[in-house]
Amino acid sequence: MDLTPKLSLFLTVNLTCAQIHLNFQRKSVVGLSFDFLALNWLGFICYSIFNVAMLVSPTVRAAYRQQMGSSPGVRLNDAIFAVHAALMTSAQCSRLTPLPACCVPVQLCLSCGI
């Protein structure tokens, strides 16, 4: 039995929760890259939409099968991971406003509204 995917998921979830807790405990987001967080959130939202659509929509699965010639390999755990990651990243984003960033520059990406 290959434990690599389960270990990877376990580490990802625990490290994300640890970072959220650490930021709350320090009452600061110093060292947190705002660009990374914004792009990570956008990526997980898109990944969630893709996985949930592939999982629950017969129309999307049929279109994929017609275009690619095979059935999509999306499983329930893929959708759960994507939605969980989007929620955890949203929790981190919600901490950006109330906590002081102390002199952390906002990069071009966030300045443009991405």
Q: How far apart are CA 105 and CA 80, in angstroms?
A: 34
Q: Which residues contact 23 (CB under 8 A, 6 or more apart)?
A: 29, 32, 92, 95, 99
Q: How far apart are CA 102 and CA 90, in angstroms?
A: 21
pLDDT over threshold 70, residue 101: no
The listed range with the strongest mean pLDDT (15-29, 67-81, 93-107) is 67-81
pTM of the entire predicted model: 0.65
Tokens of 30: 């110093």
DSSP 70: S
User: What does the chain come to in residues?
Assistant: 114
What local confidence, expressed as pLDDT, does residue 10 receive? 66
